[in-house]
Structure 1
Amino acid sequence: MERDIDTARAELGGIAGNVSVIPADKYQEGVVLGLQEAFAGVPGVYVRNPSGQVSARLSIRGSGISAPSGLRGIRLLRDGLPLGRTDDLGDTIYADPAGANYIELYRGANSLQYGAATLGGAINLVSPTGYTHPGAEWRMEGGPDGYLKGQVRAGQSFGNGLDAYASISSARTNGYRENSGHTVTRFYGNLGYRFDARSQGRLHVTSEHYRVQMPGPLTLGQLLEDPSAANPDNLRSDSHIRTAPRWHVAYQHDWRVGDADKLSMGVFHTGTKFVSPAASRVTHYDARDYGASLRHEINRERDGRKHRFVWGANYGRGSSENQVFLPDDWPRSPYLPAPGSEVVSIGARRSSFELFAENSLGISSDVALIVGAQAAWAERRTANKVSPVAASFFADGSGSDRYFGFSPKLGLLWDVRPQAQVFANISRSFEPPNSLAFYTQEGNLEAQRATTLELGTRGGGKDFGWDAAVYHAWIRNELVEFPLAAYPGAVLARNADRTRHMGLELGLHGTLPLARVPGGLEWDIAYTWNHFRFDGDATYGNNALPGIPQHVARFGLVYRHPQGFYGGPSIELASSSDVDQANTLKAPGYGLVNFTLGYKDPGERYRIFIDARNLTNKYYVATTDYVVNAGSRDRAVFYPGQTRAVYIGFQANW
């Protein structure tokens, strides 16, 4: 059954933890390059797009901090069903914010109602339908370096229980860096049918084609001198990824049971296949995942006290074949395999099963006690054929392992007054290693487990509102990297004994009326403090975990006229961050100034905007590679952010 954004906000307001709802209309006021725009003003989410790469690095509360790209430990969902692999290894390119009606963000164990119990939590894209997006829309965006993006989408309900929605989009750019262009073409559609007032089914179909060039990292000196340059090896080999294509099919059926209960069952099947040439290798990847989910929500109210019980199960299986070949131009040598020969073959298998339940019991009219738990079983298998030339990266032979985790949660939610809440929770999280990384030269990896304490408050309205949370996670066996003793200079995934993740997530927003000018000023502040460290490690002591700045902030100010004009600046700030686990090298902090100016027709027939980014043309580090011990400022591990750019956009609705 369709949920509008107000219903979603009300439901998430019953969670004893920090959650957010991000409306698409908010981030569509300017250019939408990816998830970075959707989460720009959301505290607790670190997302950065290196210039020239459509894929973003995303982390919530330090999840997947050692992932070289994309994300790990965050479940990507569309309408509650997985978008990525069943072991939660994925890429932000799979989640298209331009195709969502709104986005739900569940930090940490607050995602338990969908069965996820990971350190990062879950991101749920809620799709438009023929009911929530009636009519047609055409949107165009353009900018520097040949950037052009077009999207046509339409929805309709036919009055006989049938409705349909479809979207076709294509984006391309040459990129401002050398070897940084990309072309992304997407189709997404859903078809729904209401069998009666209490039963509805919906089929989702996605097909996506990517060709993304990879400019590679630079040294800090190279970046500050000329951030438009590519890494010489990436440029020489035309490093890129090309899918053929990526597809996703899902079906979900919802029943309304009684007056307030909901039952949902869904199945999904997804496939990803790509070829990725690079300087020292050519990678072929082919993965398939499928699964099913069940979710039952029971709602009761007695004597003014609300009672909500959610239980369900998730099951998933997947397989992937990964082959690595030497490039055709590899130097010939009697001591090395011939050019074009296979050096790595990995056949990975994975499965998971989750049972979950969460009970919210009103112990008074304004206090709710939340008790929940997840039991998860996971299996990993692999069959590796690794030649000696790649033995420092992958383990040869076959391996398998089984993982079990029980993750309880206890929370308290207090409605201090109608528009103010205080919450607290303590929870466990459980993350088995993915099927590509669990089998190493030093044995199988353990599952990452954590205990997290969270305290927070939220409330207010249009004039002034807030959401704030502090958390402390004690983590065992966090998945990071360590040197490989048998191969000097090589590293491999390994479990750290103990680490700690602490943080503050603060969001403030409000509206200031203007005495002599029609309209008002909308302002927002998003601040995140990240404190991620080893905890008495034998090698790294209490060193900071690298990759994410300790302080990240955004300040936005927008003037809105009653006739539809809007405009104002935003400022993004980030402190310096450690690049390596040994804490020998830092990426400098930065400050960016942006400005958006637009007009939205009061009748919502059209919108036009200008979106200017990085007005001071700052050369800055957007992300870095995860490094164990940099040892030198001359390491090529830095990825520059976008320099000054001005985008324009137009959207028409009918």
Structure 2
Amino acid sequence: MRARILAVALLTGGAYAEEPDAPQVLAPWIVIETRLTPGAAPTRATAVLPAEAWSGRAVATLADAFRQIPGAMMLESFGGFEPPRLSIRGSGIQSAPSSRGLSLLLDQLPLGLADGSFNSALLDPQLATRVEVQRGLDGWRTAPGTMGGALDLRGDDRMWPTEAAAALRTEVGSFGAWRSHARGTYVRDNYAASGAVSFQTQDGFRAHSAQRREAMRTALRRRLGGDTEATVAWYHVDARYDVPGPLTWAEALLAPRSVSSDVSRDQPHRASTFNRVTASVGQHTVARELEGGIAWGRTTDGFQQLQANGISDSRSDDVSVHLMAAPRLDVGGATHRLRVAATASRGWRTVKRWRNDAGQRGPHFADDELTPFTAMVQGEDTWAITRRVIGTAGLAQLMARRTIADRLRVTPRSVVESHDTLPQAGLQWRFWRDCTLLGQVSAVAEPPTFDDLVVVAGPYPNLRRTLQPLATQRAVTAEIGVRGSAAAWAWDAAVYRAAWRNEILRLADASGAARGAVNAGPTTHAGVEVALRWRFVTEPVRWSLAVSTAWSRATFDSDTIHGSGRLAGMPPHTGTAEWLAEFPRGAFAAVGADWVAGTTWADHAHRLGYGGRTLAHARAGWRIGGRWTLFVDARNLGDHRSIASTAGVLDVARVPAATAIFLPAPGRTFTVGVEWNRRASP
């Protein structure tokens, strides 16, 4: 007997329904139980956002897409798809503009580079049928080589489609925004083909902030017999965007649409393309699960930054392999699920750098050949201790090598290596009906990326490339959580505490120019994540409330300079709430808000920071005939001026009033959208 589910359509106006063999939906997130029998169900902490959750609302940024999921922190930067400050439980919150600290996946295989870095502007979540945010033990299973866990964009692999399906969506909005995407599925005999395309462009809230992105995803699936199928897939994206740069605190609040004179002079912008081809095969039965896949990706990136960082051209080819076997075993009267997995990534990357002379390419000052290799091997056993208690224990071995060769100078190759043994253990107790208590401890490690190791240093015009020696950062996390549903309620809450060692902090100097990364002394990350959903009236009008919030605290441990102060860049409290009314004939209306509470520091010395803010939103629409949806979405109703985030962090803000590091949040925006859906029958 497989896991019982409760499907709750929170955002699309659907009714309650109970079905077998599906994930447990605790809208607007899903907590995956397992495809396996209850006697071998592993401890899980994965939040899943189905594509239907975006129906009837504007999705202009990654923060719009993910803000309702507990555990994911997205601080917007310049608006649109430009990379936000992306983090899970404080990991990677200080890495900008290139991101690290969590693994970005597409159907379980890396979407970024083999060294663990990625450009989130190359991610369009609406091309996926669901997005899984994996943290805790799930992060250990999927990506023990990163500290925060993983964002996994998944396709139509949960069940075989029975008939063709298609969907179209178009949005137009403030600041010249236009977003469209389409998807379709075709089925014949033992073949299923699917494809999705998207287009996004905008002029932007600020000057010099235009954006344009085209993306496409295709897949061909073939049933090989029984529960085995093979898939080949292709993902392509082309993103180009201007970078309006940071402002001082006063400029960000008094003239938020402006840019600095440095931006007007240097014209910073970025153009990136990514292509990835994958081939995979899998078998999923009650007796066993088998998976294997290989991916090849090519990334090109041209980044014209301000004078302090220059201009870079990068090209990378990366190959990844993933293997997993999970047989069911009956030993000593108990049901065990043994999971063995191996993942390896190898890359070949070249990076050339030039000086930025007033927006023109100046002298060539760096030419690096970068060779990353990252591999892990895992073993995990999950067994039924009693009918309601499940135990999990595992061990992972992580190996990493980063090789750097300077092709402009005859110098020895620099090699950074690390080897880590990472254990984990967890307990799951289903103490009442659909309510589960989780307890787990896991160790993770993250080697430095090349963006951490290779630094542009020196004052303009005497820029030079230098190497920054760094150690692998490590952490041990303990977590207790409770999740479940009862009648009209659904909830997901977790409390965690992580002891970090050698945390990599990417810093800037007092002028806002990048200073490079350093290893900090001991630090502690702790927090509480809560998501709650309450459907308090069911007829004739359905009324519901959804809240997702997180309290986070990342501090130094008696540091010689900063004492036990908070780390910069991480807000103490973030959250979102929405009240939704769904009427019998298809109309719906919602009001809500998202907020940041407390002071977010821009420097570790706590001399420069910004306060909290609450932005109100509203949306309304009409679902017609089960296929059409019309909606209007208004954000920041009060046209409130506030700080969205910062462009990095500082050690010490020596001249706070003159330090340009703040990114203003957009003003009031309106979006009008239309959707059409022809869904396949289950």
Give the partner amino acid of 2:660: A
Give the counterpart of 1:585 among 593, 600, 608. Answer: 608
Q: Deviations over 1:266-323 (max 9, x none)?
A: 0001111122223322221111211111011223579996532221100110122111
Question: 1:104 is matched with which residue?
Answer: 132
Say whether residues 1:572 and 2:594 are aligned partners: yes
Deviation at 1:94, TM superposition (A): 3.0
The residue identity in structure 2 corresponding to 1:548 is M
Q: Secondary structure of the residue that 2:527 maps to in structure 1? A: strand
SS of residue in 2 equivalent to 1:152: strand
* Cα distance change of structure 1 residues 312 and 586 upon mapping to structure 2, 3 Å threshold: same
How many residues align? The count is: 630
Q: Is residue 2:60 matched to residue 1:33? A: yes
Which residue of 2 is the match for residue 472 of structure 1? 497
Distance 1:66 1:483 in 2: 10
Conservation of the 8 A alpha-carbon contact between 2:136 and 2:479: no
The equivalent residue for 1:495 is 519
Residue of structure 2 equivalent to 1:57: 85
Query: For residue 459 of structure 2, what is the aligned residue in structure 1?
Result: none
Deviates more, 1:32-41 or 1:139-148: 32-41
C-alpha distance in 2 between matches for 1:122 and 1:36: 16
Moved more, 60-69 or 320-329: 320-329
* Identity percentage of aligned residues: 25
Distance 1:41 1:279 in 2: 34
Q: Which runs of structure 2 are paired with 1:361-372 in the superposition (5 Å)?
A: 361-372=383-394
In the superposition, relative to structure 1, how do residues 98 and 489 fare at CA in structure 2: closer, same or farther (>3 Å)?
closer
Preserved contact between residue 117 and residue 374 of structure 1 (Cα < 8 Å)? no
Equivalent of 1:23 in 43, 50, 74: 50
Judging changes above 3 Å, is the alpha-carbon distance between structure 1 residues 396 and 59 closer, same or farther for their aligned structure 2 residues?
A: farther
User: In the alignment, which residue of structure 2 is the partner of 1:294?
Assistant: 323
Deviations 1:386-444 (A, max 9, x none): 89xxxxxxx98641021101110011110001211111111111101113323676862
Q: Secondary structure at the match of 2:584?
A: coil
Partner amino acid, structure 1, of 2:620: L
Rounded to whole Å, the distance in 1 between the matches of 2:588 and 2:236 is 35
**1:489 shift after superposition:** 8.9
The one of 666, 669, 675 aligned to 1:642: 666
Matched, 1:255 2:283: yes
- 1:430 to 2:445 alignment: yes
What is the Cα deviation at residue 365 of structure 1?
Answer: 0.1
The structure-2 alpha-carbon separation of the partners of 1:133 and 1:586, relative to structure 1 and needing over 3 Å to count, comes to farther
Which of 165, 171, 174 is equivalent to 1:135?
165
Counterpart of 2:640 in structure 1: which amino acid? K
CA separation of 1:528 and 1:15: change in aligned 2, threshold 3 A: farther
> What amino acid sits opposite 1:284 in the alignment?
D
Structure 1 residue 5, shift from structure 2 partner: 4.9
> Does the alignment pair 1:598 with 2:613?
no
Tell me the secondary structure at the aligned position of residue 78 of structure 2: coil
Measured after TM superposition, the shift of residue 163 of structure 1 is 1.0
Q: Tell me, in whole angstroms, the C-alpha distance in 2 between the residues paired with 1:65 and 1:168.
A: 30
Q: How does 1:515-534 map to 2 (within 5 A)?
A: 518-534=540-556
Answering whether residue 147 of structure 2 is matched by residue 124 of structure 1, we say: no
Shift of 1:37: 2.0
Higher mean displacement: 445-454 or 563-572: 563-572
Quick check: 2:236–2:276 contact (8 Å CA) kept in 1? yes
| Partner SS, residue 25 of structure 1 | helix
**Partner of 2:503: helix, strand, or coil?**
strand
Q: Which amino acid aligns with 1:558?
A: L
In structure 2, the residue matched to 1:505 is 529
Q: Which range is displaced more, 7-16 or 311-320?
A: 7-16
Give the C-alpha shift of residue 57 in structure 1: 1.6
Q: 2:294 aligns with which of 267, 270, 274?
A: 267
Q: Which amino acid aligns with 1:125?
A: L
- Looking at structure 2, the residues matched to 15 and 212 of structure 1 have their Cα atoms a distance apart, in angstroms, of 42
Query: Is the 1:295–1:311 contact (alpha carbons within 8 Å) kept by the matching residues of 2?
Result: yes
CA distance in 1, matches of 2:396, 2:162: 33
- AA aligned opposite 1:185: E
Q: Residues 266 and 433 of structure 1: is their aligned pair in 2 closer, same or farther, counting only changes over 3 Å?
A: same
Partner residue of 1:279 out of 300, 306, 310: 306
Question: How many Å separate the matches in 1 of 2:570 and 2:486?
Answer: 32
Change (3 A) 1:10 1:519: farther
Change (3 A) 1:442 1:536: farther
Describe how 1:55-204 pairs up with structure 2 within 5 A: 55-128=83-156, 131=161, 134-159=164-189, 161-204=190-233
SS of the residue aligned with 1:137? Answer: strand
1:323 lines up with 2:352 in the alignment? yes
- CA distance 1:490–1:173, change in 2 (3 Å): closer
SS at match of 2:666: coil
Contact 1:52 1:177 in 2 (8 A): no
Instruction: State the AA in 2 paired with 1:27.
Output: W
Cα distance in 2 between the residues matched to 1:304 and 1:633: 69
| Mapped contact 1:117–1:428 kept (Cα < 8 A) | no
Seen in structure 2, the aligned counterparts of structure 1 residues 6 and 509 have a Cα distance that, compared at 3 Å, is: closer
Contact 1:108-1:117 at 8 Å conserved across structures: no
Given candidates 544, 548, 551, the residue that maps to 2:573 is: 551
The 3 A distance-change label for structure 1 pair 278 and 99 is same
- CA deviation digits over 1:549-597, x for unaligned, max 9? 1011212110112332221111111122011111111112111000111
* C-alpha distance in structure 2 between counterparts of 1:540 and 1:465, whole Å: 41
Q: 1-side partners of 2:333 and 2:634: how far apart?
A: 51
Alpha-carbon distance between aligned partners in 2 of 1:227 and 1:133, rounded to the nearest angstrom: 50
Mapped to 1, the partners of 2:226 and 2:187 lie a distance apart of: 15
Q: Distance in 1 between matches of 2:347 and 2:583?
A: 52
User: 1:644, CA displacement in angstroms?
Assistant: 0.2
Partner SS state of residue 618, structure 1: coil
Determine the C-alpha separation between the residues in 2 that align with 1:483 and 1:617.
31
Within the candidate set 624, 639, 645, 1:623 is matched to 645
Checking the alignment, whether the CA contact within 8 Å between 1:483 and 1:489 is kept in structure 2 is yes
Maintained 8 Å contact 2:439/2:479? yes
Q: CA deviation at 1:239?
A: 1.4
Equivalent positions of 1:376-395 (< 5 A) are 376-384=398-406
Aligned-partner residue type, residue 304 of structure 2: P
Deviates more, 1:315-324 or 1:61-70: 61-70
8 Å contact from structure 1 (residues 113, 311) kept in 2: no
Q: Is the 8 A contact 2:77 2:646 kept in 1?
A: no
The residue identity in structure 2 corresponding to 1:577 is T
Shift in alpha-carbon separation, 1:283–1:442, aligned structure 2, 3 A: closer
State how far apart, in whole Å, the 2-side matches of 1:42 and 1:102 are: 12
Report what 1:413 is aligned to: 428
Describe the SS at the equivalent of 1:541.
Answer: coil
Relative to structure 1, the CA distance from residue 434 to residue 445 in structure 2 (aligned partners, 3 Å threshold; closer, same or farther) is same
Deviation at 1:614, TM superposition (A): 0.3
> Residues 441-495 of structure 1: CA distance to partner in whole angstroms, max 9, x if unpaired?
68621100111111111111460111111111011100014689xx999733111
TM-score by length of 1: 0.91
Contact persistence 2:575–2:595 (CA under 8 A): yes
1:75-124 per-position Cα deviation (integer Å, ceiling 9, x unaligned)? 11122111111222112223321111111111144223335353200111
CA distance in 1, matches of 2:328, 2:622: 42
Contact 1:377/1:405, CA 8 A, preserved across alignment: yes
Alignment of 1:602-617 (within 5 A): 603=626, 605-617=627-639
Q: Does 1:453 align with 2:478?
A: yes
Which residue of structure 1 lines up, in the alignment, with residue 234 of structure 2? Answer: 205
Post-superposition shift, 1:622?
0.8
**Superposed CA RMSD:** 2.6
TM-superposed deviation, 1:18: 3.1
Code of the aligned partner of 2:673: G
Note if contact 2:145-2:398 (Cα within 8 Å) is conserved in structure 1.
no
Contact kept, 8 Å, 1:273 with 1:287, in 2: the verdict is yes
Give, in whole Å, the separation in 2 of the partners of 1:436 and 1:329.
24
- Distance in 2 separating the partners of 1:264 and 1:67: 32
Change (3 A) 1:414 1:602: farther
- Gaps of at least 5 residues in structure 2 are 1-20, 26-30, 456-465
Secondary structure of the structure 2 residue equivalent to 1:340: strand
